[in-house]
A and B are shown apart, each in its own frame.
Chain A
Amino acid sequence: MTTTTRTNFFVATLLLTVAILATWVVTDRRSYTSLTTIEIVESIPDADDPLANTGFYDDGPVETAVERPGFHLGLLPAPRGILDLHALSVLTLLGLAWAPHLLLLARRILRKRSAITPLPENTHAFSPKTR
């Protein structure tokens, strides 16, 4: 891999990271990924609601729990199986994006280590044996 390709790949991963974190922020910064949301919604009773003017709602808004579809990218996955959309999360996506870089980095470190293999003990560049 050339240096240019490597740089481009690194920049693309950085952009992807920003996109993933932005999605997490935009979708309410939840702890766990969810595909549906249960929310408490306040609403004014409908005119055809027989309880509307009876004092049942204290003449105020009605609080109801509403289950609606809505994707929230969580920090952590919440899957039930391998092929589950709940497996998408900041952690899993960032893990996938950064995994090749970490592998490349690990390989480079290993190469460098093998290139600077220490000389056997009691030997140095100016020892009589190496001259």
Chain B
Amino acid sequence: MNRKQLSIAFALFLILGSFTQIAMADSPDNPCSGKHAENPCGEKAGNPCNVKAAAMGNMPAVNPCFAKMGTVFTIADPMNRNSVTFRSEAPLEDIVGTSNEISGYLVFDPENPKKGGRGEIVVPVSSLRTGIPLRDEHVQGPDWLDAAAHGQISFRIDDVKGVERIKAGDGYMTYVLTVTGPFTLHGVSQQLEAKVTLTYLEASEMTRGKMEGNLLAARTSFTVALADFDIRGFKGVVGSKVGESIDIDVSLMASDAQMSAAQTQNPCGEKAAKMKSGR
């Protein structure tokens, strides 16, 4: 092969390389292709964000495309001050339980809330406490939530609507909005709609007492029916000692300061960055 042939081969290699990059940019596997109107990353099996997110433990991976919608706030309070409370009211017994191990993320643009938002909240079943260790074992056991088979309870926010600003002031904005998405419990997913109060707090001396960075506080309440999630429990217990419906209250605070750490964990982040830069 002479020098001329070599240079032609090199030029062909460069041209082919460029075409490959252009093709990749529009590929359905590209999480940032923007081909999917609803979710820019789609729900395709080939999407690296969906595949790898499942393997990341309690912290769901943040889809890098969601950053287009606003700031990514990570739910990871090292002091576990976030809380999920569940209440069961039944003729024979009232049960109150809680968990402080909440992780996940919220995507929201406080300056432009109409852009919508995304999010995912995850609670490990093993973290639920009711005040009686034996009852906790039963709750997590195979007859109830089956922690061994379905280790997490999650709520993924796919849509945000009805955004209404109810209060704003120096360094804060409070909104009321409605979120919808699949709520997964006992391995069963059901579409859930919940009204959420959301407050954005700019970083200040006061907020630093809670967490670093700009903060996004959220609280919501909703009710789930055990039968909808195929939770049967011990025979005759649901309806007498355990309510047929469970009231759930969530109160959490997320911060945008932890995003840098979360991004390094995100397997999609690196790939998306490479794709954007064309490397």
Interface residues of A (CB under 8 A from B): 31-34, 36-40, 48, 50-51, 53-56, 58, 63-65, 67, 78-80, 86
Contact = CB atoms under 8 A, between A and B. Distances in A.
Given A55-B199, A65-B85, A31 B131 contact: no
B199 A54 contact: yes
Contacts of A32: 132, 134-135
Contacts of A50: 172, 201, 204, 206-207, 209-210, 215
Contacts of B29: none
B133 A86 contact: yes
Interface residues on B, range: 35 or more
Contact of A31 (B87, B166, B241): B241
Contacts of B207: 50
B236 interface: no
Given A48-B206, A56-B199, A40 B132 contact: no
B158 interface: no
Contacts, number: 74
A54 B133 contact: no
Given A40-B87, A51-B201, A56-B197, 10 more contacts: A32-B135, A36-B131, A39-B96, A50-B206, A50-B210, A54-B172, A56-B199, A65-B249, A67-B131, A80-B134
Contact of B98 (A31, A51, A65, A78): A65
A50 B208 CA distance: 9
Interface string B159-170: 000000011010
Among B92, B134, B174, max chain A CB count under 10 A is at B134
Given A50-B204, A65-B85, A34 B131 contact: yes
Contact of A38 (B98, B169, B241): B98
